[in-house]
Amino acid sequence: MRACIPLVLAVLCGLAWAGKMESCASRCNEKFNRDAACQCDRRCPRHGDCCEDYKHLCTEDHKESEPFPQPEEETEDALASNLYSAPTSCQGRCYEAFDKHHQCHCNARCQEFGNCCKDFESLCSHREGFSYSSDAISKEEIQSISEKIYRADTNKAQKEDIVLNRQNRISPSETRDQVDHCPKPLFTYVNEKLFSKPTYAAFINLLNNYQRVTGHGEHFSAQQLAEQDAFLREIMKTAVMKEVYSFLHHQNRYGSEQEFVDDLKNMWFGLYSRGKEEGDSSGFEHVFSGEVKKGKVTGFHNWIRFYLQEKEGLVDYYSHILDGPWDSYPDVLAMQFNWDGYYKEVGSAFIGSSPEFEFALYSLCFIARPGKVCQLSLGGYPLAIQTYTWDNSTYGNGKKYIATAYIVSST
């Protein structure tokens, strides 16, 4: 028996070492390691062999705020691979944010740095309101507009509309254990009269239009495409989305409401490929409906979807690691759950918000801070949202789809 102990220890140590080499923890900027399962050196994004947590742990843009662990699968498809042809024109790109992957630029400071696209003068510089500061949206401006959006959400749930049973809170270190700490559902009661409101009804109509497993192409019927337009039409009637458009129009990001709506449809509903088949995913499907890739739940950051799936017996709530500071809705919860046989390690979501509220904040952050942490203020409390761009394909003249968007902090 004693002779077996060294062998067992060696196997356990080997497994621990192998697990460590699948993460960038304590490995940022190390030299290429041919024995590691993935890399953490500065050139790994170029070669496409970074560990899944590389962007979270090793890049400056993602060190700002991360009080609870984020699911590694969120980043694996969002890392830049630059497989598309970078745009060389300003057509459809006037006032867009600086993007280091582009060969030339169309923002208000490109003339200052001498890196404008050749057609910048003819397409952009004469437009009303163009100035050197027009494309730089400050943190303070984002926090101010997010407070306006928060106040404008009159379709949100009231306290009596939702009763939660949060049950057991676990530590971040326990999220990988996949243990069900909560014997009862998360939602004890939801006033389903909320779902008869136009934006809720239009949103719910979209949720079952997708195949959740990546690698299976999405093929929309005429009715399903009409449902996308109906959702956008309904949310644009709300004060929440009017605030967002007004702000972005004032920032010279969009010349008309129709231009804004067209861009929202492309960035959220445009199809791209996360798996082997073309057109198997979109930003909306990933963030709001949820997907399964490599045996893990990815995306799925919406409370309405969660409630409806839990009601059908398809979602099993396990625990939570963060409960937001708000004493009314919308609130924030970061939870662990099983979705019909697949585990979600950390799923952050607003609770009790209207569909237009979430759509507005995620869109705002993606447009103003694409691929970065976006610092908001809601009801006097800070909140951070992380977005990622999909870099393997584009729409229009080099514009990027939404890969994902989710809450990373409420402190």
Q: Is 276 labeled as catalytic in the residue annotation?
A: no
Calpha distance 24→16 (Å, rounded): 14
Q: Is 344 labeled as catalytic in the residue annotation?
A: yes
Structure tokens at 198: 């136009």
pLDDT at position 112, please?
60
Tell me the average pLDDT across 264-289: 92
Is 63 part of a structural domain of the chain?
Answer: no
Catalytic residue selected from 55, 301, 320, 400: 301
Please count the structural domains in the chain: 3
Is 176 part of a structural domain of the chain?
Answer: yes
pLDDT at position 167, please?
97
Is 238 part of a structural domain of the chain?
Answer: yes
Instruction: Verify that 232 and 270 share a domain, yes or no.
Output: yes
User: At which of 128, 151, 179 does a domain end?
Assistant: 128
Q: Are the C-beta atoms of residues 54 and 22 closer than 8 Å to each other?
A: no
Does the structure show a pLDDT above 80 at 91? no
Calpha distance 324→301 (Å, rounded): 15
Instruction: Verify that 237 and 307 share a domain, yes or no.
Output: yes
- Residue predicted with more confidence, 101 or 385: 385
Instruction: Verify that 119 and 166 share a domain, yes or no.
Output: no
Mean residue pLDDT across the chain: 84
Tell me the average pLDDT across 382-408: 94
pTM listed for this prediction: 0.72
Residues β-bridged to residue 189: 163
Residue 115 pLDDT class (50, 70, 90 cuts): confident
E-strand ranges in 252-380 read 291-293, 296-298, 315-323, 331-339, 342-351, 373-378
pLDDT digits (tens, 9 = 90+) for 220-265: 999 999 999 999 999 999 999 999 999 999 999 999 999 999 999 9
Is 67 part of a structural domain of the chain?
Answer: no
Q: Which residue has the tokens 């799936």?
A: 309
Is 14 part of a structural domain of the chain?
Answer: no
pLDDT at position 127, please?
52
Instruction: Verify that 47 and 167 share a domain, yes or no.
Output: no
Instruction: Verify that 235 and 299 share a domain, yes or no.
Output: yes
DSSP state letter for 105: B
Residue 126 pLDDT class (50, 70, 90 cuts): low
Instruction: Verify that 258 and 323 share a domain, yes or no.
Output: yes
Is 133 part of a structural domain of the chain?
Answer: no
Instruction: Verify that 185 and 305 share a domain, yes or no.
Output: yes
Does the structure show a pLDDT above 80 at 3? no
Instruction: Verify that 254 and 154 share a domain, yes or no.
Output: yes
Tell me the average pLDDT across 298-307: 97
Q: Nearest Cα to 407, choosing from 310, 343, 293, 331?
A: 331
Q: Nearest Cα to 347, choosing from 401, 294, 389, 306?
A: 306
Q: Is 286 labeled as catalytic in the residue annotation?
A: yes
Instruction: Verify that 211 and 354 share a domain, yes or no.
Output: yes
pLDDT digits (tens, 9 = 90+) for 176-209: 999 999 999 999 999 999 999 999 999 999 999 9
Which residues form the domain of 40?
21-53
pLDDT at position 221, please?
93
pLDDT at position 340, please?
95
Catalytic residue selected from 56, 105, 156, 286: 286
